[in-house]
A and B are shown apart, each in its own frame.
Chain A
């Protein structure tokens, strides 16, 4: 009986497809369902199942080859409280928080300065926009490769430059305390996206506001402080939310920067071991899929909470 139903269903499905090709119109809603079928199938297989699966597997011990074994909250308990078995969980969270806290403000300020500069000139805006956007479209792997050479302690461009202006050269990627600053510099270099969004925000400020301010005798600083900054609040809020989600998931650049032939993953002192790098390590080096799934779920919760707090407490509008 089931086969009969299936056969009839397939026949009908085919008929609809044929019908929608020709001029004959079959039932509207069937065609609609047909059109969304690929998207919905994809959603079920590659989004819904993984989302529910990640939650389920986080309660199991699983290596992806054998059947998962239910262990309840074991993974969470040990990740959060067992510092001997999982010494890097809190460490990697700290690294990610530090990276976000230093890299994001730095790249936002850089982006705002660039946007203001570009906004202030009349000609050649496009040229500068393109030049400042190049680092954003470059592959993370290529970015890391380029900067690994720039950060070379002896022959790297940066240290040679520092020496030339009389500053102390640094062992950028060789010393734990320099790693987060090194990553922050790269993210400031990649600030082009925020710059374009700031520029759009600046362009949306109505010129009558400036005119009114000029009549009142406002100077450049006052215009910046009392018109531009408040009017850029919605823009900044958007960048803050999306930037934080992206910064929490940073992977490509750190993976390529710190991976060596020997397989060390987080750089010297594991100072570059970001959360996702650590997750990746658990999953694809130790095959602790359950633990890694628990980490992904924790990450999801963290992002949810932080985003909620931003919507709740960060001013989004002009007021």
Chain B
């Protein structure tokens, strides 16, 4: 018995060591990013990497936020941050509401041709998003949304996948609740807002968080729609900073940190929901 428990102790020790080493490797790019972003330009290029910023001349350990200040003000990251926040702040709730409204009707309110229509919608999920890019840009131009923040919001305001996901969830809710509410004279909209939505909080949370992360990170759509620097979103500002200043890692790392940290915070707060949501929806962010 004693030998057996010794075996298990050794086994878990080895396993945890392996996991810990891999975890350090996986997280090291983030640590390296933060570390570099806190250094002054001259102290970045050292033959031996230093975790904490060390002044080359005096040998003192320090940390500076100068790179963040520079990137935020001089490179437009403050405006880009604000733009990203506006876009995500409008598009996420709008999309959630429209998708849930549609999903509810597709699940529960019968009308002629409903299921055929739903199938038609679903078939559009087969087409890779990139294949629709160019005509979409054209539509956005025709609608007069080109080079504006609305151009990042309206063309992204519905997700067929989310409609599908929410419909599948609404189908699992007991019909009796709605019927009882109807007998009491509640309208469909009222049932939807006061009964269906509160009951769907877990799945709505998953959809909200995933679409927030997706929209915050999206690069290609802002890249083709936005021209004016004052309307850049964070990924766009970062892409341009990186391509122009790749020889100044202390600046690009500060930019990357600004784009990454909000998402990391959201992820750390909602990690349980997100990780569960992946297996629930099979959705990558």
Complex contact A54–B259 (CB within 8 A): no
Which residues of B (98-150) have their CB < 8 Å from a CB of A? 98-99, 101-102, 104-106, 109-112, 114, 117, 120-121, 124, 126-139, 141
The residue that A135 contacts in the complex, of B26, B253, B282, with Cβ under 8 A, is B26
Q: How many residues of B contact A (CB 8 A)?
A: 102
Q: How far is the CA of A40 from the CA of B106 in the complex (A)?
A: 11
| Binary A-proximity of B236-250 (CB < 8 A = 1, otherwise 0) | 101101111010010
The residue that A256 contacts in the complex, of B32, B49, B243, with Cβ under 8 A, is B243
B-binding segment of A17-25, A75-83, A86-94, A98-106:
A17-25
A-binding segment of B54-62, B153-161, B197-205:
B153-161
Tell me, yes or no, whether B216 is within 8 Å of chain A by CB: yes
Q: How far is the CA of A53 from the CA of B139 in the complex (A)?
A: 10
User: What residues of A have a CB within 8 angstroms of the CB of B188 in the complex?
Assistant: 20, 25, 28, 31, 35
Complex contact B15–A200 (CB within 8 A): no
User: What residues of B have a CB within 8 angstroms of the CB of A210 in the complex?
Assistant: none
Looking at the assembled complex, report how far the CB atom of A72 sits from the nearest CB atom of chain B, in whole angstroms.
19
Do A132 and B26 form a contact, CB below 8 Å, given A142-B238, A193-B284?
yes
Do A121 and B109 form a contact, CB below 8 Å, given A24-B187, A25-B188, A51-B127?
no
Complex contact A260–B246 (CB within 8 A): yes
The residue that B44 contacts in the complex, of A29, A114, A155, with Cβ under 8 A, is A155
Tell me, yes or no, whether B279 is within 8 Å of chain A by CB: yes
The residue that A139 contacts in the complex, of B114, B124, B135, B217, with Cβ under 8 A, is B217
Tell me, yes or no, whether A283 is within 8 Å of chain B by CB: yes
Q: How far is the CA of A54 from the CA of B15 in the complex (A)?
A: 52
Do A249 and B129 form a contact, CB below 8 Å, given A136-B284, A260-B246?
yes
User: What residues of B have a CB within 8 angstroms of the CB of A300 in the complex?
Assistant: 127-128, 131
Do A293 and B110 form a contact, CB below 8 Å, given A148-B252, A252-B220, A256-B239?
no
Complex contact A42–B157 (CB within 8 A): yes
Tell me, yes or no, whether B180 is within 8 Å of chain A by CB: no
Tell me, yes or no, whether B285 is within 8 Å of chain A by CB: yes
Complex contact A150–B187 (CB within 8 A): no
User: What residues of B have a CB within 8 angstroms of the CB of A145 in the complex?
Assistant: 238, 241-242, 252-253, 255-256
Complex contact B242–A148 (CB within 8 A): yes
Q: Which residue of A lies closest to B97 (CB)?
A: A38
Complex contact B275–A131 (CB within 8 A): no
Complex contact B128–A249 (CB within 8 A): yes
Interface of A is mostly: helix
Tell me, yes or no, whether B16 is within 8 Å of chain A by CB: yes
Tell me, yes or no, whether A152 is within 8 Å of chain B by CB: yes
User: What residues of B have a CB within 8 angstroms of the CB of A135 in the complex?
Assistant: 26, 29
Which residues of B (21-36) have their CB < 8 Å from a CB of A? 22-23, 26-30, 32-33, 36
Tell me, yes or no, whether B52 is within 8 Å of chain A by CB: no
Looking at the assembled complex, report how far the CB atom of A18 sits from the nearest CB atom of chain B, in whole angstroms.
10
User: What residues of A have a CB within 8 angstroms of the CB of B137 in the complex?
Assistant: 64
Complex contact B253–A141 (CB within 8 A): no
B-binding segment of A4-12, A175-183, A238-246, A311-319:
A238-246
Tell me, yes or no, whether A112 is within 8 Å of chain B by CB: no
Complex contact B134–A289 (CB within 8 A): yes
Chain A positions within 8 Å of B, measured between CB atoms, are 19-25, 28-33, 35-36, 38-40, 42-43, 45-51, 53-54, 57, 64, 114, 117-118, 120-122, 124, 126-142, 144-150, 152, 154-155, 157, 160, 189, 193, 196-197, 200, 238, 242, 245-246, 248-249, 251-252, 255-256, 259-261, 276, 279-280, 283-284, 289, 292-293, 296-297, 299-300, 303-304
Q: List 20 A-B contacts (CB under 8 A).
A: A25-B188, A29-B109, A36-B102, A36-B105, A46-B139, A48-B124, A50-B133, A50-B134, A121-B16, A126-B272, A126-B275, A138-B263, A145-B255, A154-B45, A189-B26, A196-B279, A251-B130, A251-B220, A256-B243, A296-B133
**Given A114-B22, A121-B19, A296-B130, 9 new contacts (CB under 8 A):** A39-B163, A42-B157, A129-B271, A129-B275, A132-B26, A133-B275, A137-B285, A149-B33, A303-B128
